[in-house]
Amino acid sequence: MNLIVGLGNPGKTYAHNRHNMGFRCINHLAKTHGISAKQRHCQAQLGVGRLDNTEVVLAKPLNFMNLSGKSVKSLMGRFRIVLNDVVIIHDDLDLPLGKIRLSRGGSSAGHKGIESVISYLGSRDFLRIRVGIGRPLEDGDPVDYVLGDFSPQEKPLVEDAIARVSEAVLCLLTEGVAAAMNRYN
């Protein structure tokens, strides 16, 4: 079983924020694969189902971004999932809008949700799918930027990135990490 977690902030206020790319990717995966993600356990909204022939837990932590790690650790314990079977999907300021990158390990690069996951798991060695949201203008505040919504002009790139993340997750589960990295990085 694999645990696929999208990072974001709960509530309608944040639903379309740049910082909620992880949540949006989980929503797309669930819808595309017919997984009802309405259950609530371990401070997360989740669904259990299959992506191709692999059993997965799709989860969105219900605590705020900076506390995401608590939910991830609880979910791993509840479903007996090992670190190698955890995939975290999150936004990334350092990637251009719409680009995705798969990686394992590394620093948080200042992402508070990833810092929380690293802290609670005591390891950096989990798989990440980073979704580029671009950077604010030079005088823009990064916090305001990530908590802002995408412009109408950005939405087509965002929707395309979300669809590619779903494809990358399926590739990762069916063909392995190396194949997914080669195809989507």
Residue pair 104/179 in contact (Cβ under 8 Å)? The answer is no
Q: Is 19 designated active site? A: yes
Q: State the DSSP string of 167-184.
A: HHHHHHHHH-HHHHHHHH
Residue pair 162/103 in contact (Cβ under 8 Å)? The answer is no
Which of the residues 19, 33, 90, 111 is marked catalytic? 19
For residue 42, is it left (φ>0), alpha (ψ between -120 and 50) or beta? left
Of 42, 37, 12, 39, nearest in space to 27 by CA: 37
Tell me the catalytic residues: 19
